């Protein structure tokens, strides 16, 4: 996580999002209805030269029309584990390079520890630590879109900041410290602190809620209203520390992306379509803007989005890394190559790679994650790879 100071243009966009947000809060009935979802419109495919391409393209394996609509329990469990382990591996791989000179295409990132912690080789940082707090609450069976779960997450964040945090962004630290000092009901305290901090600084559109959001998608794999409950949970959990509506938007897109990736029955590349499809879940006024931000990510390389402390830039860098990584002969190796590409985005490397890793892991599954990474990855509160897998297993129930 990095401390985010917006440029004048970013500030203009943030201010505009706030105006829309406040208008919608004052007058919810005047909100324009969302256009109907055109399902699969944005499914990813391959171009002739092996690059991912939005809107179809040439798939490696065509979707099997007889494939079951929802993958088996075993496949869903593998992908859910892949999401948590993928985030942790991306984080741990990015840790040594956080705020260091950007790696070039021929430099190989290695899980060698160091970074801001300093961390042991393979140890993940605040990004995954905070995601683990959410995962532990989800694993108890509490619904993440309800207050009891969000209260438990608030308590977990506050406890983590006071005890377990090995590093923590300035904004998140301030919110959690203020909430802890206020005492009383943790959920009320954290919401108050988050709102206040935004009112004081106007700056809460950093990448610190996006970096921990993917797990929210795992909590909503069942039920006809899962898509809307996931949306509401993602925005609410983002808002515990990041009041900004753009941070909430990014968390909605990414959590839904993870949810769809786990549930997708198509071959690998089609499993990434959920991020673009989720644009229809955002407030109408910002849908076109997000479409153009994703388009931009599909046009430019990951390092073009430096600095990536801004939630929009971090999402673009992660999406660009996933999108521009060629599909190798063994398609599932796309996981490793795209996570490495996310580290090469530079700047806030562990966060961008954790964001990319959760979606890549959800799409390709644990089986696609290099065994040597799985053996090395570990972190607060004393978890190793099998612990992350069993957390995921309990979340999907």
Residues near Mg ion (CB under 5 A): 125-127, 350
Looking only at the bridges linking them, the beta strands covering 378-379 and 52-54 are unpaired
| Shortest separation between residue 1's beta carbon and Mg ion, angstroms | 5
The nearer residue to Mg ion, 244 or 350, going by C-beta atoms, is 350
The nearer residue to Mg ion, 90 or 257, going by C-beta atoms, is 90
Work out the angle between the directed axes of helices 8-26 and 284-299 (0-180°, nearest 10): 150
| Shortest separation between residue 91's beta carbon and Mg ion, angstroms | 6
Separation of CA 138 from chain center: 16
| Shortest separation between residue 128's beta carbon and Mg ion, angstroms | 8
The nearer residue to Mg ion, 155 or 350, going by C-beta atoms, is 350
| Shortest separation between residue 350's beta carbon and Mg ion, angstroms | 4
The nearer residue to Mg ion, 125 or 171, going by C-beta atoms, is 125
The nearer residue to Mg ion, 62 or 118, going by C-beta atoms, is 118
The nearer residue to Mg ion, 134 or 230, going by C-beta atoms, is 134
Distance (Å, whole) CA 376 – CA 362? 20
Separation of CA 43 from chain center: 19
The nearer residue to Mg ion, 204 or 207, going by C-beta atoms, is 207
Distance (Å, whole) CA 347 – CA 353? 11
| Shortest separation between residue 348's beta carbon and Mg ion, angstroms | 8
The nearer residue to Mg ion, 45 or 379, going by C-beta atoms, is 379
| Shortest separation between residue 359's beta carbon and Mg ion, angstroms | 17
| Shortest separation between residue 161's beta carbon and Mg ion, angstroms | 14
Cβ contact 385:70 at 8 Å: no
Cβ contact 60:331 at 8 Å: yes
Distance (Å, whole) CA 264 – CA 92? 27
Helix ranges restricted to H, 208-273 = 215-218, 226-239, 245-263
| Shortest separation between residue 351's beta carbon and Mg ion, angstroms | 6
Evaluated on CA atoms 327, 333, 335, 341, the torsion sign reads: negative
Cβ contact 214:362 at 8 Å: yes
Q: Give 5-8's long-range contacts (Cβ < 8 A, gap of 24+).
A: 5/203, 5/309, 6/203, 6/205, 6/310
| Shortest separation between residue 74's beta carbon and Mg ion, angstroms | 32
Phi first, then psi: what are they for 378, rounded to 5°?
A: -170, 165
DSSP assignment letter at 335: H
Is the bond preceding residue 107 a cis peptide, omega within 30 degrees? no
| First CA to last CA distance, the chain | 30
The nearer residue to Mg ion, 126 or 145, going by C-beta atoms, is 126
């Amino acid at each position: 996580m990095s401390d985010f100071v917006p440029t004048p243009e970013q500030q203009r966009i943030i201010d505009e999002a706030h105006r829309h947000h406040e208008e919608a809060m004052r007058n919810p009935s005047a909100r324009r209805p969302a256009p109907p979802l055109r399902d699969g419109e944005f499914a990813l495919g391959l171009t002739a030269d092996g690059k991912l391409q939005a809107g179809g393209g040439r798939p490696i394996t065509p979707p099997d029309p007889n494939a079951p609509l929802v993958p088996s329990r075993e496949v869903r469990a593998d992908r859910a584990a892949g999401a948590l382990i993928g985030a942790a591996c991306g984080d741990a791989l990015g840790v040594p390079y956080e705020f260091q000179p950007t790696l070039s295409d021929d430099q190989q990132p290695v899980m060698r520890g160091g970074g801001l912690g300093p961390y042991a080789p393979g140890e993940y940082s605040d990004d995954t630590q905070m995601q683990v707090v959410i995962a532990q609450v989800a694993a108890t069976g509490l619904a993440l879109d309800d207050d009891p779960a969000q209260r438990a997450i608030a308590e977990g964040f506050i406890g983590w900041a006071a005890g377990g945090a090995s590093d923590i962004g300035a904004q998140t630290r301030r919110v959690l410290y203020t909430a802890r000092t206020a005492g009383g009901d943790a959920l009320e305290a954290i919401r108050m602190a988050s709102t206040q901090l935004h009112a004081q600084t106007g700056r809460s559109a950093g990448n610190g809620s996006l970096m921990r959001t993917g797990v929210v998608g795992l909590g909503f794999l069942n039920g006809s209203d899962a898509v809307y409950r996931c949306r509401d949970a993602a925005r609410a959990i983002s808002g515990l520390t990041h009041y900004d509506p753009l941070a909430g938007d990014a968390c909605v897109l990414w959590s839904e992306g993870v949810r769809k990736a786990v549930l997708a029955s198509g071959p690998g590349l089609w499993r990434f379509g959920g991020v673009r499809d989720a644009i229809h879940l955002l407030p109408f006024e910002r849908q076109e803007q997000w479409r153009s931000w994703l388009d931009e990510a599909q046009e430019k390389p990951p390092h073009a989005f430096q600095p990536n402390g801004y939630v929009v830039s971090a999402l673009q860098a992660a999406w660009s890394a996933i999108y521009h990584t060629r599909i190798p002969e063994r398609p599932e190796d796309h996981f490793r190559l795209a996570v490495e590409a996310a580290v090469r985005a530079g700047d806030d490397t562990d966060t961008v790679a954790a964001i990319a890793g959760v979606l890549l892991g959800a799409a390709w599954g644990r089986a696609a994650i290099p065994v040597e990474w799985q053996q090395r990855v570990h972190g607060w509160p004393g978890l190793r790879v099998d612990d992350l897998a069993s957390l995921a297993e309990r979340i999907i129930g």
